[in-house]
Amino acid sequence: MSGDINMGGRKISSVGSPTVSTDVTTKAYVDNQMKIKVADHEVRSFISNQENNDASLSSVHADNCGAGEVYVALEGLKDENDDPITDMGFCLEQNLRVATTWAQAKSACEGDGKRLPREFEWIIACERKAALGLNGHSTNWEWLANYKLDAGSDAYLMVASVPWGNRCSTQVVHFPNVSVNPANSLTFRCAK
């Protein structure tokens, strides 16, 4: 990307590698606002979509998490009515497991009575990885449940996410039943 990006009183001259301190500060501000907006949008979509609303968020509280799991509260996000979300969250495994395909990861979670995390859950957990004590959340590709890009086919699911730079919002589109060989292993953790 070249040229300046003007946003009111803020301007970014180099998005890829900010060199001026104001660019770095502004880029961090924009990244943070985008993550909040993406997470809010995903939560709103999840809550308002009856097909996906399996009540797994509203029925899970900190005392529902088992050994090796942490509770991730949805604090700071808003629902479809723009009201703050309170007393909602999910349990997420602290440690990673390995699966070379999305189908293997999904099957392993379902075998344990759990599921793969949704994209917005992964982003929220990634942002809080240190406080939550999540292992390997910033160095590995992780399979996610996510939504279908093509409603007529399972071939195009957004299934893997990996932080890029210091961001927790990069997603990769991948064929779910095809093994890949990225630099870092394909891993997953289950949620409930």
Q: What is the pLDDT along the chain (192 residues), one digit of tens a residue?
A: 344 444 444 444 444 444 444 444 444 444 444 444 445 555 555 555 534 444 455 556 778 899 999 999 877 767 667 777 777 789 999 999 988 777 888 899 999 999 998 877 888 888 888 899 988 766 667 888 864 444 444 444 444 555 444 556 555 555 555 555 454 557 889 999
Residue 176 sits at the vertex; the CA angle it makes with 172 and 182, to the nearest 5 degrees, is 50
- pLDDT tens for each residue of 61-71: 778 899 999 99
- Assess contact for 161 and 142: CB atoms under 8 A: yes
What is the pLDDT at residue 190? 95
Residue written as tokens 């993550």?
Answer: 35
- Assess contact for 43 and 83: CB atoms under 8 A: no
Strands 5-7 and 171-174 come out as: unpaired
What percentage of the chain reaches a pLDDT higher than 90?
A: 14
pTM score: 0.63
What is the pLDDT at residue 128? 85
Instruction: Give dist(CA 125, CA 98) in Å, integer.
Output: 19
What is the pLDDT at residue 166? 52
Please state the domain extents for the chain. 20-188
Q: Report residue 123 CA to chain centroid gap.
A: 3
- pLDDT tens for each residue of 123-167: 888 888 889 998 876 666 788 886 444 444 444 444 455 544 455
